[in-house]
Amino acid sequence: MEAVLFRRPAVHARFATRAQDVDAVAPWALNQGFYNLFLAVVAAVGAVLALAGADGSTGRTVGLALVLAGCGSMLAASLVLLATDRRMARAAAMQGTVPLVAVVAAVLALTS
């Protein structure tokens, strides 16, 4: 969202950015949006590898490691957001819920 739609008032308002600051913040938002996209690609590739691999296979283990790396980073970012601005608790919860579920599932898969 922040990569391609940031200049829209409804979008930059979600990030607590004033209209007069959009031009200064837009390059950061573009970078952040693609950073998030690339983390999602890592997690998605990991999920595909994990689901396609047989129990104990290298592909499954690599897939779970990618899920942990991608989703663990997303989860950590949501905790940083919450720690730095409590007003963003709802956004942090939205940002971190799916990665938390994925991390827990990956850990359970690795330990079972």
Size of the chain in residues: 112
Task: Say how many domains are in the chain.
Answer: 1
List the single range of 3-17, 37-51, 80-94 with lowest mean pLDDT: 3-17
Tens digit of pLDDT for each residue in 1-21?
A: 788 899 999 998 888 899 999
Q: Does 87 map to a domain?
A: yes
Residue 99: pLDDT band (50, 70, 90) is very high
Q: Does 30 map to a domain?
A: yes
Q: Does 3 map to a domain?
A: no
For the chain, give the DSSP string.
Answer: -TTTSTTSHHHHHHTT--GGGHHHHHHHHHHHHHHHHHHHHHHHHHHHHHHHSPTT-HHHHHHHHHHHHHHHHHHHHHHHHHHH-GGGHHHHHHHHHHHHHHHHHHHHHHH-
Q: Does 32 map to a domain?
A: yes
The predicted model scores a pTM of 0.85
For 44, the domain range is: 9-111
